[in-house]
Amino acid sequence: MTEENDAFADNQAEREQAKALRERARSGGLRFEAYLPGSMADWVLERVEGGWFADPSEAVFAIVSNYIDLEPHRDLRDELLRRQLDASLEDVKAGRVRDLDEVMDELRREVTKPRPEPAHWEKIAR
Protein backbone atom coordinates (compact mmCIF):
# COMPACT_ATOMS: atom_id res chain seq x y z
CA MET A 1 0.00 0.00 0.00
CA THR A 2 1.32 3.49 -0.78
CA GLU A 3 1.68 6.20 1.82
CA GLU A 4 -1.34 8.01 0.30
CA ASN A 5 -3.48 4.87 0.58
CA ASP A 6 -2.43 4.29 4.20
CA ALA A 7 -4.10 7.54 5.21
CA PHE A 8 -7.44 6.25 3.91
CA ALA A 9 -7.17 2.58 4.84
CA ASP A 10 -10.52 2.70 6.67
CA ASN A 11 -12.62 3.75 3.66
CA GLN A 12 -12.80 0.40 1.90
CA ALA A 13 -16.50 0.79 1.00
CA GLU A 14 -15.83 4.15 -0.69
CA ARG A 15 -12.84 2.72 -2.55
CA GLU A 16 -14.95 -0.19 -3.83
CA GLN A 17 -17.68 2.22 -4.93
CA ALA A 18 -15.10 4.30 -6.82
CA LYS A 19 -13.85 1.18 -8.58
CA ALA A 20 -17.40 0.13 -9.50
CA LEU A 21 -18.33 3.59 -10.86
CA ARG A 22 -15.13 4.26 -12.78
CA GLU A 23 -16.13 2.90 -16.21
CA ARG A 24 -19.56 4.53 -16.14
CA ALA A 25 -18.02 7.82 -14.95
CA ARG A 26 -15.51 7.78 -17.82
CA SER A 27 -18.34 7.90 -20.34
CA GLY A 28 -21.00 9.85 -18.47
CA GLY A 29 -19.15 11.89 -15.89
CA LEU A 30 -19.63 11.83 -12.12
CA ARG A 31 -22.20 13.70 -10.09
CA PHE A 32 -21.78 13.84 -6.32
CA GLU A 33 -22.65 15.98 -3.33
CA ALA A 34 -19.85 17.86 -1.60
CA TYR A 35 -19.74 19.55 1.79
CA LEU A 36 -17.61 22.64 2.29
CA PRO A 37 -16.98 24.15 5.72
CA GLY A 38 -18.01 27.76 6.20
CA SER A 39 -14.78 29.48 5.13
CA MET A 40 -14.48 27.41 1.95
CA ALA A 41 -18.18 27.83 1.15
CA ASP A 42 -17.82 31.58 1.62
CA TRP A 43 -14.84 31.65 -0.75
CA VAL A 44 -16.73 29.73 -3.46
CA LEU A 45 -19.95 31.74 -3.10
CA GLU A 46 -18.00 35.02 -3.19
CA ARG A 47 -16.54 33.97 -6.53
CA VAL A 48 -19.95 32.95 -7.88
CA GLU A 49 -21.35 36.33 -6.78
CA GLY A 50 -18.40 38.03 -8.48
CA GLY A 51 -19.01 36.20 -11.74
CA TRP A 52 -15.81 34.11 -11.67
CA PHE A 53 -17.88 30.91 -11.76
CA ALA A 54 -21.43 30.20 -12.87
CA ASP A 55 -22.11 28.03 -9.82
CA PRO A 56 -20.25 26.02 -7.14
CA SER A 57 -20.06 23.03 -9.47
CA GLU A 58 -18.05 25.03 -11.99
CA ALA A 59 -15.72 26.18 -9.20
CA VAL A 60 -15.05 22.59 -8.15
CA PHE A 61 -14.49 21.63 -11.80
CA ALA A 62 -11.93 24.44 -12.26
CA ILE A 63 -10.13 23.67 -8.99
CA VAL A 64 -9.89 19.95 -9.74
CA SER A 65 -8.66 20.77 -13.26
CA ASN A 66 -5.93 22.97 -11.80
CA TYR A 67 -4.96 20.26 -9.33
CA ILE A 68 -4.70 17.69 -12.14
CA ASP A 69 -2.57 20.09 -14.18
CA LEU A 70 -0.27 20.68 -11.20
CA GLU A 71 0.02 17.02 -10.17
CA PRO A 72 2.94 16.07 -12.47
CA HIS A 73 4.92 19.16 -11.42
CA ARG A 74 6.18 18.02 -8.04
CA ASP A 75 8.66 20.88 -7.89
CA LEU A 76 5.84 23.44 -8.06
CA ARG A 77 3.75 21.56 -5.50
CA ASP A 78 6.76 21.39 -3.19
CA GLU A 79 7.36 25.12 -3.63
CA LEU A 80 3.75 25.91 -2.75
CA LEU A 81 4.01 23.74 0.36
CA ARG A 82 7.30 25.40 1.31
CA ARG A 83 5.68 28.83 1.03
CA GLN A 84 2.76 27.72 3.22
CA LEU A 85 5.18 26.38 5.82
CA ASP A 86 7.24 29.58 5.65
CA ALA A 87 4.08 31.62 6.28
CA SER A 88 3.30 29.42 9.28
CA LEU A 89 6.81 29.93 10.64
CA GLU A 90 6.36 33.68 10.30
CA ASP A 91 3.27 33.36 12.51
CA VAL A 92 5.35 31.50 15.11
CA LYS A 93 8.14 34.09 14.97
CA ALA A 94 5.60 36.91 15.33
CA GLY A 95 4.06 35.22 18.37
CA ARG A 96 0.78 34.42 16.62
CA VAL A 97 0.56 30.97 18.21
CA ARG A 98 -1.69 29.44 20.85
CA ASP A 99 -1.17 26.97 23.66
CA LEU A 100 -1.79 23.35 22.58
CA ASP A 101 -4.11 22.61 25.52
CA GLU A 102 -6.17 25.69 24.68
CA VAL A 103 -6.47 24.62 21.04
CA MET A 104 -7.39 21.03 21.98
CA ASP A 105 -10.08 22.27 24.38
CA GLU A 106 -11.52 24.47 21.65
CA LEU A 107 -11.50 21.59 19.17
CA ARG A 108 -13.32 19.34 21.66
CA ARG A 109 -15.99 21.99 22.16
CA GLU A 110 -16.35 22.49 18.40
CA VAL A 111 -16.69 18.76 17.69
CA THR A 112 -19.41 18.26 20.29
CA LYS A 113 -21.58 21.31 19.62
CA PRO A 114 -24.62 20.95 17.34
CA ARG A 115 -24.10 22.05 13.76
CA PRO A 116 -26.56 24.18 11.82
CA GLU A 117 -28.07 22.65 8.73
CA PRO A 118 -25.74 23.42 5.79
CA ALA A 119 -26.95 25.62 2.95
CA HIS A 120 -27.82 23.64 -0.17
CA TRP A 121 -27.17 24.95 -3.69
CA GLU A 122 -30.06 24.31 -6.06
CA LYS A 123 -29.25 24.00 -9.74
CA ILE A 124 -31.29 26.60 -11.64
CA ALA A 125 -32.93 25.17 -14.75
CA ARG A 126 -32.46 27.31 -17.81
pTM exceeding 0.85: no
From first to last of the 126 residues of the chain, give the pLDDT tens digit: 455 556 566 788 899 999 999 999 999 999 888 999 899 999 999 999 999 999 999 999 999 999 899 889 999 989 988 998 998 888 888 888 888 888 888 888 888 888 888 888 787 787
The four Cα atoms 89, 95, 101, 104 give a dihedral, to 10 degrees, of: -50
| CA distances to 33, 42, 56, 93, 115 from 122, in Å | 11, 16, 10, 45, 21
Which helix (H) or strand (E) segment is 76 a member of? helix 74-93
